[in-house]
Amino acid sequence: MYCMKCLSQNSFSMNSDNPILFGKVMDGQVFLEDLDLYHSLVSELEGERIQLTVDQMKLSKTEKQINTYFGIIIRKYMMQSEQFRGWTSKECDDYLGYKFRMDVKQIRRLKTATVQTVEYIIPLSKLSRKAMSEYINQVILYLQEELGIEEIIIDEQRNKN
């Protein structure tokens, strides 16, 4: 699966407000999922110079990773511990976010030309499948060390034997 991004030379955007089209490359040809959107974009950009970028789609988190994180790690282990008893799953996720998903972004103010440094929590939705897996492993290690949980069982079917 590939995605294609189309930018008009006159519509530069730092925050990716430009449409992204999804499709597949087969036998050297591109097959787009939304041809109507493609034709609409092409007609709007008639006569413009464009930049066309074709990238392989990044793998996103799986439903199993999200279920593991919220259902097992947060609800079964974290919220059942003495330290986090009474917390909601959102509060637990926010706590873990402050601990492990903090990042720094620099924002440049155009009018004053000043640069401001802002700390923020990277949303789970922005993590790739690999980053989510690494994050889950980091959280498991933290819970084992901080809460004294000796073993966190993720795949309960596999561990029942």
Task: Provide the token pair at 130.
Answer: 């690999």
Q: Report the distance separating Cα 19 and Cα 36, nearest Å.
A: 13
Is the Cβ–Cβ distance between 21 and 4 less than 8 Å? yes
User: Whole-model pTM above 0.85?
Assistant: no
Q: Longest C-alpha distance within the chain, in Å?
A: 66
User: pLDDT tens digit string along 72-131?
Assistant: 899 988 998 888 999 999 999 999 999 998 888 877 777 777 787 888 888 887 888 888
Task: Provide the token pair at 102.
Answer: 């903090």
